[in-house]
């Protein structure tokens, strides 16, 4: 019996790191992203060569039709969903001062990061509740939402991103409260400064800030640092702490004098 995990936004970066960690813990993983399936062939085949069971479903979580299709695909082809990780997200196409932020940019970021995460949580939760009615072996589902230190740290040149990530924090609390009735824990993992494609252009800037003490642990995080927090959340050891935030940020969240 294999457990099934779904990870949105998992073609690269943090999402891909989470996929690899789940695979190493014997999960069958369904990856997703906005990239067409044929364009991910090399990534998928590379994982399969290593003995992993992986699948890929194109899905823009900001689009209802894509979310519906993604959930239906899992239901039809796998018949269980043990772990759902909402990692998919987007940054503003252009960083703009808060006094000049456009409605178009605001809607673009919120549609994916906040609305998409909310409704993907809803659909995954309803699927898990449905599966609980079946006689599935060792079925203890969990949901993990990936937010950011931007949920509580202001960046006035990407306000829409900060607001959306703050929304994910509340989404986690809301679903943790509602799903407690069904014994489905919900957690938030909050990455800090992580070395990915998204931070490559500003790596030098962040390394200097870290050296100057912005984080107690003096290094950039790696995707596997976030992935290990996800695994802690799905391990079953933290279920009574539903709604908890796991800060994968090198101590950035600690208030210091």
| pLDDT, tens digit (0-9, with 9 covering 90-100), for 55-82 | 999 999 999 999 999 999 999 999 999 9
pLDDT cut 90: percent of the chain above it: 95
Burial status of residue 161 (CB atoms within 10 A of its CB: 0-12, 13-18, 19 or more): buried
78 is catalytic: no
Q: Is residue 236 part of a domain?
A: yes
Q: Is residue 253 part of a domain?
A: no
Q: How confident is the model at residue 27 (pLDDT cuts 50, 70, 90)?
A: very high
Return the closest-CA partner of residue 221 out of 235, 210, 212. 210
**Residue 137: CATH number of its domain:** 3.40.50.720
Residue pair 10/33 in contact (Cβ under 8 Å)? The answer is: yes
Q: Is residue 220 part of a domain?
A: yes
Q: Is residue 26 part of a domain?
A: yes
- Of 16, 161, 182, 206, the catalytic one is 161
* Domain around 195: 3-248
Q: Is residue 93 part of a domain?
A: yes
Question: Measured between alpha carbons, how far is 189 from 249 in angstroms, rounded to an integer?
Answer: 10
Q: Is residue 255 part of a domain?
A: no
Q: Is residue 254 part of a domain?
A: no
**Which pTM value belongs to this model?**
0.96
- Give me the mean pLDDT over the 95-121 stretch: 98
Q: What's the pLDDT tens digit per position in 209-225?
A: 999 999 999 999 999 99
Number of domains in the chain: 1
Q: How confident is the model at residue 22 (pLDDT cuts 50, 70, 90)?
A: very high
- Give me the mean pLDDT over the 140-166 stretch: 98
């Amino acid at each position: 019996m294999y457990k099934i995990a779904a990870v949105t936004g998992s073609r690269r970066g943090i999402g891909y790191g989470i996929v690899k960690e789940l695979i190493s813990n014997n999960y069958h993983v369904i990856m997703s992203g906005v990239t067409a399936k044929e364009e991910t062939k090399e990534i998928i085949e590379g994982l399969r060569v290593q003995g992993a069971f992986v699948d890929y479903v194109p899905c823009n979580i900001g689009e209802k039709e894509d979310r519906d299709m993604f959930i239906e695909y899992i239901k039809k082809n796998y018949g269980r969903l043990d772990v759902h990780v909402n990692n998919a997200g987007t940054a503003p196409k252009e960083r703009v001062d808060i006094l000049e932020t456009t409605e178009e940019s605001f809607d673009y970021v919120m549609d994916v990061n906040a609305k998409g995460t909310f409704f993907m949580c809803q659909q995954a939760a309803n699927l898990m509740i449905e599966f609980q009615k079946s006689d599935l072996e060792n079925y203890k589902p969990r949901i993990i939402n990936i937010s950011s230190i931007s949920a509580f740290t202001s960046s006035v040149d990407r306000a829409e991103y900060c607001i959306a990530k703050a929304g994910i924090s509340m989404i986690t609390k809301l679903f943790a409260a509602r799903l407690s009735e069904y014994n489905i824990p919900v957690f938030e993992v909050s990455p800090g400064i992580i070395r990915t494609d998204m931070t490559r252009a500003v790596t030098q800037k962040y390394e200097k800030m870290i050296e100057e003490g912005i984080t107690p642990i003096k290094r950039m995080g790696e995707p596997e640092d976030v992935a290990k927090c996800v695994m802690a959340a799905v391990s079953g050891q933290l279920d009574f702490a539903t709604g908890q935030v796991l800060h994968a940020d090198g101590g950035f969240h600690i208030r210091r004098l």
